[in-house]
Structure 1
Amino acid sequence: MCLLLSSYIYGMAWGGGLAIIPIYVTEIADDMHRGVLGFLISMMNITGYYVGYFIRMFVMQYWLTMLICTLLSLLALGAAILMPETPPFLISKGRQNEAAKVLRLLRGEYRQEWEIQALESTFSEKASIFKPFMISLGLMTLQGLVHAGYSEIAAEAALEVIFGRIIDMPAVIMAPFEIASPIGAAVAVYFIKWRLFLLIFCIGRTVGSFMVCLGYLVLHSSVLNILGGFLTIAAAPGYFPHIVMVQLLPRKTNAITCSLITFIYLFLEFLQLYVFYFVAEFQHGMIFVTVVSALFTIYVLLFIPELKRKPVQTIQDELSNKSFIILTL
């Protein structure tokens, strides 16, 4: 009973964090570094996951593992208490002086007054919510239906055939790769456009999933499974679609709309995992992931505008003026 209750509490905290963290990062970051920070979140998330995994692998006592993880959680709580409130939230509550202090802490003196005026304008002007909401909902729906877990399972199974189960060799091999991938992505997204970057990830995930399908269903090739699995893992966009979603949605309503869309995203991800892990066959799951990844690529190409280094108000103006094919028919 205690294990079920603790799992429920952990699930609530994880789901809430998934909705809040992208909003917080987007609101404290400047226009230039938003995408980079989105991938650094993914890197820290994956690193923490593997730290916990290796603690459990090398610390045999269950109670000691839980104690270490509890202490790390308390450390995270202490760090969260010290985090400043975001300037947009303070501006929305009429606390301009506090917002100026936070901006001084985050940016220094040189952009403080200009950024406060820009933030005030985002709350004073009315922005249409329908088009940004529909684009964000479509983005996160496709993200929720595509999961790299199937390709990862195929890669791990192939690695087990080659290396065996010596200290869980698949996890040891894949951990540095999964941690290094978002670091490389964070560097790359600083130099190339967001829309192109998201397209590259979607194409990579489509090709990787197709390679796993080909290796698993047709050629029965462990090498192809490993390559496809690693490519699909490398093409996992992490928190980047969440950052894109927060950028698209109007500032006044992004807390409510992001939470609603994140709930739908989590529900679809759970439904997809449940169906293809416990109901459908593995090969059906891989075919589904490949098809949806291809649709995701087309969706990004048609509906996602370029957002890199653009102020929120500029994005809202462009969404109001541009036509987005299906949504404007």
Structure 2
Amino acid sequence: MDPQDQEDQDEDTPGPVSDQDASLGKVRNRNLYLATMACVLGPLSFGFVLGYSSPAIPELARISDPRLRLDADQASWFGSIVTLGAAAGGLLGGWLVEKLGRKITLMFCSLPFVFGFTIIIAAQNVWMLYVGRLLTGIASGVTSLVVPLYISEMAHERVRGMLGSCMQLMVVVGIMGVYLAGLYLDWRWLAILCAVPPTLLIVCMCFVPESPRFLLSRGRRREAEEALRFLRGPDAPVEWECARIESACDEQGSGFQMSDLKDPGVYKPLVIGVMLMLFQQMTGINAIMFYAENIFEQAHFKESDLASVIVALIQVVFTGVAALIMDRAGRKILLTISGVAMAISTMTFGVYFYLVSKPSGAGVEPHADLSWLALASMAVFIAGFAVGWGPIPWLIMSEIFPSKVRGVSSAACVLTNWSIAFLVTKTFQDMMGLLTSAGTFWLFASMCVLNVLFTVFFVPETKGKTLEQIEATFRGAPGP
């Protein structure tokens, strides 16, 4: 059963909706949900990659084998080189999704996941660890581009927000899973576990169709109708939906040209998409997640590895909440709430580090009594990020671009996201030394304030609109 009822659709969908309502009333979502479950094994693998460094770095820093032992600088590269690979993977993915399609690209990116973790498992020196992390980063970059596009092009407007948020939900499930497994497994066995989801991804993707919009953009109408019939159920009027998509494709033409950047229907969503990715990473989220255990150790919190698991669990819960309410609350309000929560929490975290850096007059360090503040601030930050700035930039990226520039524009967004992620994660320890721990978190707080202002003034609401209606909004024309 759809998570939205008929009244929600009547209220939220602009323009004439009678045909749209008639069509959606006959839709059955079972196969759509199954297809989404198959493709989000990619983000689950991606989450394993992101979370792997947190339990692995402390172990590799004290390992007895000098060939594999990481010093502080090597640990920084081990954590951050994933983002360089992901930036390259974003560019590669933008080309692959247009040449091979969404389904084949997603199956292809399973290979560097598996090969990367295999190299880590067999590592005999630090450079093999780097190569393995780089390969898994490339796979993560491709995944972060293709999965949002694939889900948004399969899903209809009533459930697109919920299903699109499943990507981030599975990322954080992967992070929590690897944190939890890291309590019991050493770094090699942990890498073996991380290779399981991408292996399953290849198998499961054999049973789901290609994106109907991609098929129609290639003139493969019969295959597109079969894909839609699989995704919408036997009673849905798939011919009507195909005609609507084809009409929008005909208006746009085919193939990206540099002259398209003069079109407000292209450059406006591109600027918004890139800025969303920039602001997402400038909150410091990846630096915080990569070095979660280290942060708690510096905050003098006992059982830092357990604290990281608790934080990851909070992220899973609130990302799940965001997915459930996304198509009711809307993207814009959740982004605003998220930005405010993160600004408050990072400001408080900065205050905590400032206080613990000052010895008390009696010569007793205050951090023993304030360690709860570090965990509370981290929990609020993660919860805030999870309900808005975690899933929504990826969701909006998948919604706002015209089909003919979707691959190129998404590649620009992914490249921005992971390039900034690299800069933040690689320089995080340096920032902590230069600005102090307190100053670093206050810098992140100022970025969160800018996030809120950008959301209020520039981010459009896409709730309840078809992809074609969203495209028409940027062109200043009524949607189909």
User: Structure 1 length as normaliser, TM-score?
Assistant: 0.88
1:227 corresponds, among 376, 394, 398, to 376
User: For each residue in 1:194-219, what CA deviation from the matched residue of structure 2 results, as whole angstroms up to 9, or x when unmatched?
Assistant: 21121111111112212212333258
CA contact (8 A) 1:22 1:239 kept: no
Larger displacement relative to structure 2 (181-190 or 144-153): 144-153
Q: Which residue of 1 aligns with 2:337?
A: 200
CA contact (8 A) 1:91 1:120 kept: yes
Larger displacement relative to structure 2 (239-248 or 144-153): 144-153
CA distance in 2 between partners of 1:117 and 1:30 (Å): 15
Q: Which residue of 1 aligns with 2:352?
A: 215
CA distance in 2 between partners of 1:224 and 1:67 (Å): 36
CA contact (8 A) 1:158 1:222 kept: no
Provide closer, same or farther for how the CA distance between residues 135 and 171 of structure 1 changes in structure 2, counting only shifts above 3 A.
Answer: closer
CA contact (8 A) 2:286 2:421 kept: no
Q: Which residue of 1 aligns with 2:296?
A: 157
Shift of residue 63 of structure 1? 4.3
Q: Which residue of 1 aligns with 2:50?
A: none
CA distance in 2 between partners of 1:156 and 1:100 (Å): 52
Q: Which residue of 2 aligns with 1:183?
A: 320
User: Structure 2 length as normaliser, TM-score?
Assistant: 0.62
Return the letter of the residue paired with 2:244: A
Shift of residue 222 of structure 1? 2.9
Larger displacement relative to structure 2 (182-191 or 221-230): 221-230
Shift of residue 151 of structure 1? 6.1
CA contact (8 A) 2:266 2:402 kept: yes
Q: Which residue of 2 aligns with 1:326?
A: none
Q: Which residue of 2 aligns with 1:170?
A: 307
Return the letter of the residue paired with 1:86: S
Provide closer, same or farther for how the CA distance between residues 35 and 159 of structure 1 changes in structure 2, counting only shifts above 3 A.
Answer: farther
Secondary structure of the structure 2 residue equivalent to 1:253: helix
Shift of residue 185 of structure 1? 1.2
CA distance in 2 between partners of 1:252 and 1:63 (Å): 43
Pairing 1:231-250 to 2, within 5 Å after superposition: 231-236=380-385, 237-250=389-402
Secondary structure of the structure 1 residue equivalent to 2:465: coil
Could you list the runs of 5+ residues in structure 2 that have no partner in the other structure? 1-126, 253-262, 357-366
Could you list the runs of 5+ residues in structure 1 that have no partner in the other structure? 323-329
Q: Which residue of 1 aligns with 2:202?
A: 77
2:215 corresponds, among 90, 109, 112, to 90
Pairing 1:1-329 to 2, within 5 Å after superposition: 1-60=127-186, 62-108=187-233, 109-126=235-252, 128-148=265-285, 153=292, 157=296, 161=300, 164-165=302-303, 168-218=305-355, 221-236=370-385, 237-279=389-431, 280=434, 281-321=436-476
Task: Please provide the CA RMSD for this pair.
Answer: 2.5
CA contact (8 A) 1:160 1:169 kept: no
Secondary structure of the structure 2 residue equivalent to 1:129: helix
Return the letter of the residue paired with 1:77: I
CA contact (8 A) 1:159 1:226 kept: no
Secondary structure of the structure 2 residue equivalent to 1:131: helix
Provide closer, same or farther for how the CA distance between residues 132 and 150 of structure 1 changes in structure 2, counting only shifts above 3 A.
Answer: closer
CA distance in 2 between partners of 1:155 and 1:196 (Å): 33
Shift of residue 228 of structure 1? 1.9
Provide closer, same or farther for how the CA distance between residues 95 and 254 of structure 1 changes in structure 2, counting only shifts above 3 A.
Answer: same
Q: Between the two proteins, what is the percent identity of the paired residues? A: 23
Shift of residue 21 of structure 1? 1.3
Shift of residue 158 of structure 1? 7.8
CA distance in 2 between partners of 1:114 and 1:159 (Å): 59
Q: Which residue of 1 aligns with 2:115?
A: none
Provide closer, same or farther for how the CA distance between residues 28 and 38 of structure 1 changes in structure 2, counting only shifts above 3 A.
Answer: same
Q: Which residue of 2 aligns with 1:325?
A: none
Return the letter of the residue paired with 1:6: G
CA distance in 1 between partners of 2:196 and 2:241 (Å): 38
Secondary structure of the structure 2 residue equivalent to 1:142: helix
Return the letter of the residue paired with 1:313: E
Provide closer, same or farther for how the CA distance between residues 229 and 68 of structure 1 changes in structure 2, counting only shifts above 3 A.
Answer: closer
User: For each residue in 1:14-60, what CA deviation from the matched residue of structure 2 results, as whole angstroms up to 9, or x when unmatched?
Assistant: 11111111111111111111111232222222212232333343134
CA contact (8 A) 2:282 2:444 kept: yes
CA distance in 2 between partners of 1:7 and 1:150 (Å): 16
Q: Return the structure number with greater relative CO, CA threshold 8 A, min gap 6.
A: 1
CA contact (8 A) 1:159 1:170 kept: no
CA distance in 1 between partners of 2:136 and 2:192 (Å): 15
Provide closer, same or farther for how the CA distance between residues 155 and 295 of structure 1 changes in structure 2, counting only shifts above 3 A.
Answer: farther
Secondary structure of the structure 2 residue equivalent to 1:306: coil
